[in-house]
Chains A and B, each alone.
Chain A
Amino acid sequence: MLDSTVAPKALERFLYLSALCFGVLALGLLLLQFFGKPLLVSTSLLVIVAAIVGYKLSFHNSAMAAVWLLATSSLAAAFLLLFLSDIESQGAVGFAFWFLVIASWVLAWASVSRFTEINTLSRGVNAALSILIPLIFGVWLLLLWEFVTKGHDVPKVLLPAPSDIADRFMHSIPTLWADFKQTFIKSVLTGYIMGCSAGFLVAILIDRSPFLKAGLLPVGNLVAALPIVGVAPIMVMWFGFDWQSKAAVVVVMTFFPMLVNTVAGLSAASRIQLDLMNTYAANYWQTLFKLRLPEALPFIFNALKINSTLALIGAIVAEFFGTPIVGMGFRISTEVGKMNVDLVWAEIAVAALAGSLFYGLIALLERLVTFWHPSMRAAAR
């Protein structure tokens, strides 16, 4: 299954070397302190062994080296987290701790490097790798954040550690859910559906008139580049403080990308395909539904994806201009004022999660609906 192993390049060799050096440095520093911190001593030993064995393995088998490096770097990170958890009893963290953080991070990087060298034709393995590799990166980003905030004792009002945020998240689920319902389900979804369908329908109407198409397309392109979020205060004045005004902002923001993309998509069908429909004596609607709309689907999905992020931004920004006392934008702006920064970050996590899931869902739908399209087949390969 596995192809021939690619030997590590210069950059990767440097990674093993630096992990080894930092491990040795940390061990040396701990030695000077007469091994007062057994947890750190074992971590540095682990790192040193991991670097040497990993380096040897990388010449023989990428997969084994990658798994070994991932396991050891994760174990080292777990040790370091354990050390941080009773930091009070240990006193301040010293250089040895930071050296070990760097060393285990470098090992994780080396494991990613090894994972990318795995060449396989198996679809399952490739799919797993395409999730695992970004996952390692993301988890390490969080770990570094945690190490820096906890190890450096960064004040919570400045930047809370991920563990604090997770803690706050778990304890304020009712608040977060209420805000999510207000902002996402009421404002974003309503506005998104209305704006996208309006843009779509208008595009189909415009498409029948070349004159309107020639006139509206440049204007639509210009409008798509304008700071439309700015209409938020106006919409709040017109439609009141509740979710209707936010939905209105979302409608305005999502309308133009949908319009422009659908119009572009409707002209995606090639001359020869249209001629074929013509020889079948297909009428306008048959051509529209059987040829032109399916051909336009990639463009429409593109607009749906762009709009999914725009909609969330529009709704949250509109809440800065006045809301009832619930909603994600409202919560963020008031809790910043109250210095409850961990709640703000929990809210941001909700927004990020909602945004990513929304986008992911549309991307998934796109794969299911346009699996036949050349762009999808190229991506799958």
Chain B
Amino acid sequence: MSDTGFKNSILPVTAVCLAILLIWSIASVWLNTPWQKDVFKRAGAENVGAVEFVKATMAQERPKLPSPQQVAVEVYNTTVKKKVTSKRSLIYHSKITLSSALLGFAMGTLLGIVLSVAIVYNRALRKSLMPWIITSQTIPILAIAPMIILVLNSVGVQGLVPKAFISMYLSFFPIVVGMVKGLNSPDIGHMDLMRTYSATNWQSFWKLRLPSSLPYLFTSMKIAIAISIVGAVVAELPTGAVAGLGARLLAGSYYGQTIQIWSALVMASILAGGLVWIVDIIGRLVTKRMGLNHA
């Protein structure tokens, strides 16, 4: 995206982002109008100017749709202004969600790689496992989340790990699919060359299959890390968790704190976007170092 230039990418993207913010603002004024009218009526204020009215709709305590700047201010207040250890700090909550997401992502990636190697090297496993791996994703795991957490809780596993399990379940799938494709990606000529060198399975795995699967791995990891955040957030919902971005969402919805909900959402989005970006950068560096720049 970077070298396509200002006119071809940055300008349109900025325009679209600005348009989204504009639509959001208009929608918040529109959605909050009925309530605001009610407030002014009760206060007895009859002739409120249009500008003042719009300002008021954008500064309600519990708006139907908070305006962008309200959310921005809330995010700023709860990240920069609060101490990191405070229960009201979004950084504190993000850290909890992030740690279970990252643990789940790591476990999912490991599981995915192990499964894909097994699938590539064992025909029986490939034929019997692959259809179930695909089926496993048509099962709405998030519906099972409360079950998994309950079961693990009663075995004595608490806190981070049950949530990480859900992230793992969600994130291993793209890794398996991508890695199976990647490990099979060396062309016949290269595989034959390895055979003429009389390379063992082990050698051709380390020297040919694994390196050529790396671009696929990074593409899959970008998807996997994004869903592992989703998994961690949602895993916090049914447990009635006391901390984490999911808990903020739930608490916000119980008490009608819309601004809190939106700021948690924005934070989760920043987290997901940032992580995807980091994985992307690492992937680029690694593939560049390996001379796979074209991929």
A residues lining the B interface (CB < 8 Å): 11, 109, 112-113, 115-117, 129-130, 133-134, 136-138, 141, 157-159, 211-216, 218-219, 222, 225-227, 229-231, 233-234, 236-238, 308-309, 312-313, 316-317, 320-322, 328-329, 332-333, 336, 341, 344-345, 347-348, 351-352, 355-356, 358-359
Contacts and interface: CB of A to CB of B under 8 A. Distances in A.
A134 B129 CA distance: 7
Contact of A313 (B143, B249, B250): B143
User: Which secondary structure characterizes the binding site on chain A?
Assistant: helix
A322 B254 CA distance: 10
Interface of B: 1, 8-9, 11-17, 20, 64-65, 122-124, 126-132, 135, 137-144, 146-147, 150-151, 154-155, 222-223, 226, 229-230, 233-234, 237-238, 249-250, 252-253, 256, 258, 261-262, 264-265, 268-269, 272-273, 276
Contacts of A215: 11-16
28 contacts: A112-B127, A113-B124, A130-B131, A133-B128, A134-B127, A136-B128, A137-B129, A215-B12, A215-B13, A218-B1, A225-B222, A226-B269, A226-B272, A226-B273, A230-B268, A233-B252, A236-B253, A238-B64, A316-B142, A316-B143, A320-B238, A332-B146, A336-B238, A344-B147, A345-B147, A351-B143, A355-B139, A358-B138
User: Which secondary structure characterizes the binding site on chain B?
Assistant: helix
Interface hub of A136, A233, A238, A347 (most chain B Cβ within 10 A)? A233
8 residue pairs, one from A and one from B, having the closest CB atoms: A215-B12, A233-B253, A215-B16, A137-B128, A225-B226, A214-B12, A134-B131, A355-B138
A211 B65 CA distance: 29
Nearest to B170: A313
Contacts of B234: 227, 229, 317
Given A133-B127, A134-B127, A212-B12, 10 more contacts: A11-B122, A159-B151, A215-B13, A226-B273, A227-B233, A309-B137, A309-B138, A312-B140, A320-B237, A352-B135
B140 A309 contact: yes
Contacts of B256: 237
Contacts of B250: 233, 321
Given A214-B8, A356-B135, A356-B138, A336 B146 contact: yes
Contacts of B229: 227
A116 B124 contact: yes
A214 B9 contact: yes
A237 B13 contact: no
Nearest to B226: A225
Contact of A227 (B138, B252, B268): B268
B15 A134 contact: no
A212 B20 CA distance: 12
Given A351-B139, A355-B139, A214 B13 contact: yes
A239 to B, nearest CB: 11
Contact of A321 (B11, B123, B130, B253): B253
A225 B273 contact: yes
A292 B17 CA distance: 28
